[in-house]
Structure 1
Amino acid sequence: MSRLCTEHDPEVFRSLLARIGDKWTLLVIGVLGERPHRFTELADVIPSISRRMLTVTLRALERDGLVQREVFAEVPPRVVYDLTALGRSLQTVVLTLGEWVREHQDVIVAQRRTFDERTAATD
């Protein structure tokens, strides 16, 4: 990992990892990996995301070239979001991470509970 940080621009490296690891990016990429979605569809499928945070996340992903936004000249206008080829390459990583979380979530929740009980007793 240290080699990755020194062989590349550390600020770009850090900012991309922060983007990918934020609260909503992985969920948005996972959902868009299934098929293109309209904004309201994404908002309905991703639990607890506010419209503002969905907008911020989609714009950041579009800026990084991971998501494309297509506006159709209709009345009312229709906007569809989809992964780019670069976004699809990240989707593989997202799916792998999602599988890891599903496989280990019960153990991690139990570990958190044990830690919290142990540290609460010493506080």
Structure 2
Amino acid sequence: MAQQAADQLPARDRRRGRRHRHRRPAPARGASGEIGYGIHPDRWGRGAATAAARELLRQAFEEHYLHRVYGTCDPRNSASARVLLKIGMAYEGRMRETVRIRDGWRDSDLYAILEQEWRAR
């Protein structure tokens, strides 16, 4: 049985006796990514969102080698907007009617930071 499975491998794999393994893809250097967070209301106003967002940025730039990271929030959510500004993101504008919620479409404010801006902080 094992020999039959081995015979089905390409010749180069049989010679080396290697098995097919799933490898983690290399980081997409230069790509962009999005961060998001949800904090329980009991933890609001205690720095939890800021700490989480800072850690997400650290991982994005140091572990995933991203070039640009963005985040969005509801324009009515001034606390989340403050978090995004506090971690160094710049306000880039309002995207109109991007999310449909129970009572209709909602706009989203867009914030972003580039790797070189994050490293300069």
TM-score of the aligned structures, taking structure 2 as reference length: 0.27
Identify, as 1 or 2, the structure richer in helix: 1
The structure with the larger Rg is 2
Higher strand share: 2
